[in-house]
Amino acid sequence: MGHTECPDCGAALQAIKLTDATERWLDEGSLRVDQKYSAEDAKSGFGGITGIHPEGNLYGRLCPKCGRILLYAVPMN
Ligand SMILES: [Zn+2]
């Protein structure tokens, strides 16, 4: 995974961790989660008990110069 430079301005990208703001009883963004993605038409199984099957994980890169954030998918296999 050679994503090291911003495609817009060429600055060195920083690895970032995406935060989750859904746990409102904690400080916003206090949970750092491994974000996942799924197929657009993915449905949760067994009436929602098992949740949506994730296709893989996401990781992010931030350009400190222009602020662009790039997301990359890492399929689970
Ligand atoms: Zn940039």
Q: What is the pLDDT of residues 22-41, one digit of tens each?
A: 655 655 555 566 778 888 88
The residue with tokens 């060429």 is: 10
Ligand 1: distance of its center to the CA of 4 in Å?
11
**pTM to 2 decimal places:** 0.64
Beta strands in the chain (DSSP E): 14-16, 19-20, 31-32, 36-37, 44-45, 51-52, 56-62, 69-75
Please state, as a whole number, how many other Cβ atoms lie within 10 Å of the Cβ of residue 53. Answer: 13
Ligand 1: distance of its center to the CA of 42 in Å?
33
- Domain residue ranges in the chain: 14-75
Bridge partners (DSSP) of residue 52 are 44
Q: What is the pLDDT of residues 61-77, one digit of tens each?
A: 999 999 999 998 888 87
